[in-house]
């Protein structure tokens, strides 16, 4: 088990406390943010030095885990596509209307090369502004979404 505690200071920054001292402005960093988001998380100080390594978020006390999850969510912007509602055309560029875990979104896909496979059924889709959208499991999408996506793969 990890021998440290995490709190927030008055300015909203994470404060790491252990036998080695107190560090303000600690940042959690996922080792594998897409493939294994809940395992392998480093806590680093403001200079980028690792203070602690967390094997699994589930091993942490609930309050610490909640604080870390909240911090990670605020730092990482990777909306996950749950459903593809519509695409303007099957040629590129095309405007996509999608439903994500963060609400409805619309983006422009410049080229088919902006859809990258990162695992067997996991995709990253970059919009024309460089925002990355995640499709965690193409097989979990509804039939209509899969049909649209297949036209681009």
Helix (H, G, I), strand (E, B) or coil at 43: strand
The DSSP code sequence of 60-121 is S-HHHHHHHHHHHHHH---PBEEEEEEES-SSSSEEEEEEETTEEEEEEE--GGGEEEEETT
- 74-102 residue pLDDT tens: 777 889 999 999 999 999 999 999 999 99
Q: What global pTM score does this model have?
A: 0.68
Distance of alpha carbon 30 from alpha carbon 93, whole angstroms:
33
Predicted local confidence at residue 1, as pLDDT:
47
How much is the pLDDT for 3? 86
Residue 87 and residue 81: Cα distance in Å, rounded?
14
> In the prediction, which pLDDT does 11 show?
87
pLDDT-flagged residues of the chain (< 50): 1
Residue 119: beta bridge partners? 122
Burial (CB count <10 Å: 0-12, 13-18, 19+), residue 135 = buried
89 backbone dihedrals φ, ψ, rounded to 5°: -160, 160
């Amino acid at each position: 088990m990890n021998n440290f505690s995490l709190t927030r200071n008055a300015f909203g920054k994470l404060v790491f406390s252990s036998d080695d001292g107190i560090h303000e402005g600690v940042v959690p960093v996922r080792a594998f943010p897409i493939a294994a988001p809940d395992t392998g998380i480093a806590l680093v100080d403001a200079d980028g030095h690792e203070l602690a390594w967390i094997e699994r978020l589930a091993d942490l006390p609930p309050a610490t885990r909640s604080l870390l999850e909240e911090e990670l969510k605020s730092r990482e912007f990777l909306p996950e596509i749950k459903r593809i509602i519509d695409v303007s055309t099957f040629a590129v560029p095309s405007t996509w209307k999608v439903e994500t875990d963060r609400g409805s979104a619309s983006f422009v896909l410049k080229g088919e090369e902006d859809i990258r496979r990162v695992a067997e059924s996991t995709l990253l889709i970059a919009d024309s502004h460089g925002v990355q959208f995640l499709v965690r499991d193409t097989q979990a999408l509804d039939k209509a979404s899969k049909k649209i996506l297949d036209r681009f793969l």
